[in-house]
Amino acid sequence: MSEKTVYMWPKISPHNKYTELLSRSIERRGLRVAHYDRKAMFKPGKGDIVHMHWPSYTYQASVFPLTLAKSLFFMALLYAYKSRGVRLYWTIHNIWPHNGKSRWDALMRRRLLRLCDSAFVLSDSVRREAAAAFGTREDRLVVTPHGHYVGAYSGRGTDIRSRFGIPRDRFLFLFIGRINPYKGVDRLIEAYRRLEPGTGALLIAGQADSGYPLESLAAGDDSIKVHPEFVDDGELSDFMEAADAVVLPYRQITTSGSAILALSYKKPVVAPRLGSLGEYVSEGCGVLYDPDDPDGLRKALLEAAKLDKEETEKRIEAKLGELDWDRIAGKMMRVYDGSADGSARQEVRA
């Protein structure tokens, strides 16, 4: 097993630490992991592994003729790998790309899954959804949880509450991340405005898509603070430490790294009961609400503010133990090696 190389596609991403943390854990177990990029395109050989993440970035383009050309090249490359004895794996982070589902995406993702030796999903609910969406058996999809982010980010020591004028005694709800329509920030602001004055404070931090009216939505309430800029890795930890709860009011979601980030800082999560959120935000780790209830988010905010901090942290600590990277890497390596049996493929825990 030590002779082969895993080409992680990508090993390091400026937008997500998932593959970096996974790669480190696999390397700690003695397997070589290389970053896959254009320079590595022709390196994988017999016995090697190409492990893909977010493939839509490889086959999609701004216009369909270019998408078609990129897709054909992508598929030809994968067929070439198969002919050389390279094994293919795909972690399905999202059923469909964030920019929406198309017939071409459905075709490409079904074809990709058929070419793969196996695929990984991040929760049991996603396994069922992916099997139905792509017309495959559930036992071809191996459930490996999304690992935690404990220790992944180092802060600068910035006092975020002082910076935004948020009193120490105010319960601070935080939304952090890129802001676009599916994230539901408009719903969060609306629900927050319906709380009793003085209930808390709301901080929204992240770069909004062009044309998104973030600052006008938040105008008129001094307890709503907006940081309409990208939060870099150096300050991410400072924002998380300042919060009392992290709110993820998504309209749609498969798996949320933001929820796992919040848990990594022992912050309760407020989120709709969608996708795999119920499997990560388990009882006592936050508040899940019915996305079809017009008053669900407001009630969830109130409930989150009343959670017992010490008990919540204990529940989150237990959950983080299930999200240990070494356990997850160990399970993936057993799948790489072909030694994971059918029952192991059904487990949520690594």
Inside any domain, residue 184? yes
Residues 75 and 185 in one domain: no
Residues 126 and 183 in one domain: no
pLDDT value of residue 339: 63
Contacts of 305 (CB under 8 A, 6+ apart): 171, 199, 200, 244, 245
Inside any domain, residue 202? yes
Inside any domain, residue 189? yes
Torsion, Cα of 125, 180, 291, 298 (10° steps): 130
Residues 239 and 216 in one domain: yes
End-to-end Cα, the chain, rounded Å: 20
Alpha helices in 230-343 (DSSP H): 233-242, 257-264, 277-280, 296-305, 309-322, 325-336
302 and 270 in contact (C-beta within 8 Å)?
no
Amino acid at site 194: R
Q: Which of 263, 264, 304, 311 is nearest to 287 (CA)?
A: 304
Q: How far apart are CA 188 and CA 226, in angstroms?
A: 13
Inside any domain, residue 248? yes
Backbone angles phi and psi of 218, in degrees to 5: -90, -5
Residues 242 and 107 in one domain: no
Residues 274 and 130 in one domain: no
Amino acid at site 306: K
How many helices and strands, by DSSP H and E, does the chain display? Answer: 14, 12
Query: What confidence tens digit (pLDDT) does each residue in 235-259 have?
Result: 999 999 999 999 999 988 877 789 9
Q: How far apart are CA 225 and CA 223, in angstroms?
A: 6
* Residue that has been written with the tokens 């959950």 in this structure: 319
pLDDT value of residue 276: 87
Sheet holding 49-53, edge to edge: 32-35, 5-9, 49-53, 87-92, 118-121, 141-143
Q: How far apart are CA 227 and CA 38, in angstroms?
A: 36
Inside any domain, residue 152? no
Q: How far apart are CA 9 and CA 14, in angstroms?
A: 13
pLDDT value of residue 340: 58
Count of structural domains, the chain: 2
324 and 148 in contact (C-beta within 8 Å)?
yes
Which tokens in the block code for residue 232?
Answer: 């870099």
Tally Cβ neighbours within 10 Å of residue 225.
20
Sheet holding 245-247, edge to edge: 224-227, 201-205, 172-176, 245-247, 269-272, 286-289
Query: What confidence tens digit (pLDDT) does each residue in 31-62 have?
Result: 999 999 999 999 999 999 999 999 999 999 99
Omega before residue 10 within 30° of 0, cis: yes
Residues 79 and 180 in one domain: no
Inside any domain, residue 55? yes
Inside any domain, residue 155? no
**DSSP-based three-state secondary structure for 327:** helix
Domain that includes residue 301, residue range: 160-322
274 and 300 in contact (C-beta within 8 Å)?
no
Residues 111 and 223 in one domain: no
286 and 258 in contact (C-beta within 8 Å)?
no
Q: Extract the residue ranges of the chain whose pLDDT is less than 50.
A: 1-2, 341-350
Residues 290 and 309 in one domain: yes
Tally Cβ neighbours within 10 Å of residue 265.
19
Contacts of 295 (CB under 8 A, 6+ apart): none
Inside any domain, residue 154? no
Residues 104 and 170 in one domain: no
Residues 274 and 305 in one domain: yes
Residues 260 and 235 in one domain: yes
Residues 173 and 304 in one domain: yes
The CATH number covering residue 227 comes to 3.40.50.2000
